[in-house]
Amino acid sequence: MTTDRIVGIDLGTTNSLVAFMQGESPVVIPGDDGSNLVPSVVALDENNQPVIGNAARKHLTETPERAVYSIKRLMGRGIDDVQQELKFFPFRLAEDLQPGEVIRIKLGEKTFTPPEISALILRQLKRNAERFFGAPVTKAVITVPAYFNDAQRQATKDAGRIAGLEVLRLVNEPTAASLAYGLDKKQNGIVAVYDLGGGTFDISILKLHDGIFEVISTNGDTHLGGDDIDNLLITIALDDTLGDLGLDLRRNAEAVQAIRNAVIEAKIALSSQTSVKLDVKLPGGKRYLREITREQFEQLIQPVIDRTVGPCKQALKDAGLKPEQIDEVVLVGGSTRIPKVRALVKELFHRKPHTDLNPDEVVALGAAVQANILGGGSEATENMLLLDVTPLSLGIEVAGGVTDKIILRNSTIPASATQFYTTQIDGQANVAIHVLQGERELAKDCRSLARFDLKGIPAMAAGMARIEVKFLIDANGILHVSAREQRSGKEAEIQVQPSYGLTDEQVESMILDSFDSAEEDFRQRQVIEARNEADTILAALEKGKKSPAWGHLTTDEKKKIAKMEKALTAVKTEDDYQAIRKAIDALNQGTTRLAELMMDTAVSTALKGKTMDEADMGEGPTAPHPMAKAEFE
């Protein structure tokens, strides 16, 4: 049961979270620093060991060449796509990148593909969940922006696999948010989810009816979010320092990062204050000071947030709905905290958006709901079903470089289309097919997904072969292709050359922990935790022996306790955590009366049945728990 626990993961541009269904409601699992959010930052420490989350953040300013953030922007992207990103993000590409190769990012001396970096974040979340449950976690639902294309989805799935997670489903972020919302509200109606996160924007319009969450239309921009706002402010600061001080900091990663931290803080503050002061220490002892009023800020970001208008209008148009027909607008993503964004949403949909949900957590919570549904459901999710759509049309290139759309955007998935091909010359054995994703008419303007070669077509006269090619988009939004020559009934062999993305073999070689070593890691952590717990209870017992209560025990009881103490001390040095736990449990049982006696009578009645380590409130257990580790200075 516990080994089959499926978690829901929001793998965000800025922050990532892991959640699960606790009883009838989803909850976020905190990390060992007590925080629900794991910053999507990865760094390599001086020993080349990966550091993730809050711990990695200090590396952004201290050793920026060994740290990376917003990696989601590069998922499933080719080198040509990311030129724009490189202007604004301190991504350091590997020097030896070959054309057509998956991008690799330098961290110190090492290089990593975006799925590998995402996998490090996922592994951290996996560990947080394992610590919480005290059991291995191997299955997950991961959310992706609704407007992610096939390559970006595939890259996310690869990241899961590299992290040692079986990705049971990729769920669209706004759809996941609607699940969390719907679980809460249990109302029928039309809901629009406006999701402006750190790096991506999605708009989804859903019909909620009798537990079915049916996406009617979706639209978005996978490169639009809080990052873009930060970059505007950073650019201004860099211009200021260059202009006023003659100090060119564009190549100074540490200084840029210090500015970035300051502008993010300022941006956040401006959601509740009408003005903030920027104060950044610059190299050379100078400080960058600037006051920003909310009015100035709103003017500055207007062009960025205006980019959400087009997708919203298109989504409404595709859904065949007027703004008045939307019953509720749900806000998701940290950037929706900006008052100007809320005002824009109100204007677009002619109603005040729903802001009861925590915009940072709602996607992860929804992922947990979906994980629960996939796991067979529970009372809370009974009758719940998600019907999602493909955000982009699927097409194939036909004569003249034109895209022939075979599955239109906003089709409910899974969806399929069948195309027939024939040969042009006698005895032709191969047919090449170019698969595209996008809305544009010319193939060159669409996203190239893959080039397929149908091979092994039996020798026939030109035009005689009739090859049936089936394109199927699964519930993850990922394309599968199969082909069959109809006259011979022969399954044509398909060689997939993904235009962007890792091959199966590459992913295989990147897997962080093969299943065995994941088990081993888990076992070792369990041993350490069990030993800590044994030490705690043994120390508590020593204390108990010195207490007056010890004198009230019978000789027989004392003997029994001594025997169990010896057993635990002996087994503690061995590597069998289950044996250690057993011994702990035994000693706990055996010392129940001692624990009771140690309390004053009133408390003792209240705590009847409590065991030694629970009763000794001074030194709590170190068993897995959701609390932060205490720190002492």
Partner 1 sequence: MSNPGITTITAKPAPEQTQSCWSCGTMRAVHFCEACGKVQPPAPVDYFTFFALPRKLNLDVAALDKDFYELSRKLHPDLNAQAGSQEQQWSLQQSSLLNDAHRILKDPIKRTEYLLKLEGVELEEQSKTATEQARSTGEIKKQIVPPELLAEVFDLNMQLEELRTQKKMGEDDPALIEEIGNQKHDLEEKQEALLRELESRWKIWDGMIQREHNGQPVSEEERRQERDKMVDVLNRRNYIRNLVRDVTEVLES
Residues that bind partner 1 (CB under 8 A): 168-169, 210, 212, 370, 373-377, 385-387, 398-402, 404, 411-417, 441-442, 472-475
- Spatial CA neighbour of 469 closest among 425, 498, 430, 433: 433
Dist CA 228 CA 587 (whole Å) = 58
Q: Which member of 72, 157, 340, 572 is catalytic? A: 72
Residue 24 or residue 404: which is nearer to partner 1 going by CB? 404
Dist CA 522 CA 137 (whole Å) = 10
Q: Which member of 150, 173, 360, 533 is catalytic? A: 173
Burial of 246 (0-12, 13-18, 19+ CB in 10 A): exposed
How far CA 420 is from CA of 408, 417, 480, in Å, comes to 18, 10, 16
State how far Cα 424 lies from the chain centre: 46
DSSP for 209-243, please give it: ETTEEEEEEEEEETT-SHHHHHHHHHHHHHHHIII
> Which tokens is 249 given?
């900091």
Query: H or E segment at 277?
Result: strand 275-281
Residue 37 or residue 179: which is nearer to partner 1 going by CB? 179
- Positive or negative, the CA dihedral 446, 447, 449, 455 is positive
Residue 247: Cβ within 10 Å count: 17
- Spatial CA neighbour of 76 closest among 139, 2, 140, 170: 170
Query: Catalytic annotation on 10?
Result: yes
331 Cβ contact list (under 8 Å, min separation 6): 194, 195, 342, 345, 353, 354, 355, 357, 359
Residue 292 or residue 406: which is nearer to partner 1 going by CB? 406
Residue 248: Cβ within 10 Å count: 10
Ranges assigned E (strand) in 46-165? 50-52, 67-69, 105-107, 110-112, 139-144
Least distance to partner 1 from the beta carbon of 414, Å?
4
Dist CA 260 CA 67 (whole Å) = 14
The residue type found at 15 is N
- Nearest 5°: CA angle at 196, between 192 and 199? 145
> Which tokens is 397 given?
């290139």
Q: Which member of 150, 195, 360, 616 is catalytic? A: 195
| 3-class SS of residue 518 | helix
Query: Catalytic annotation on 221?
Result: no
Is residue 210 within 8 A of residue 195, CB to CB? The reply is no
Dist CA 182 CA 187 (whole Å) = 7
167 Cβ contact list (under 8 Å, min separation 6): 140, 141, 142, 156, 157, 160, 161, 476
Residue 337 or residue 405: which is nearer to partner 1 going by CB? 405
Q: Which residues of 42-64 are buried (b: 16+ CB within 10 A; e: fewer)?
A: bbbeeeeebbbbbbbbebbbebb
Query: Catalytic annotation on 613?
Result: no
Least distance to partner 1 from the beta carbon of 468, Å?
11
Dist CA 452 CA 485 (whole Å) = 15
Strand partners, 50: 44
Query: Catalytic annotation on 202?
Result: no
Dist CA 275 CA 366 (whole Å) = 35
Residue 317: Cβ within 10 Å count: 12
| 3-class SS of residue 93 | strand
Catalytic residues, by residue number, are 10, 72, 173, 195
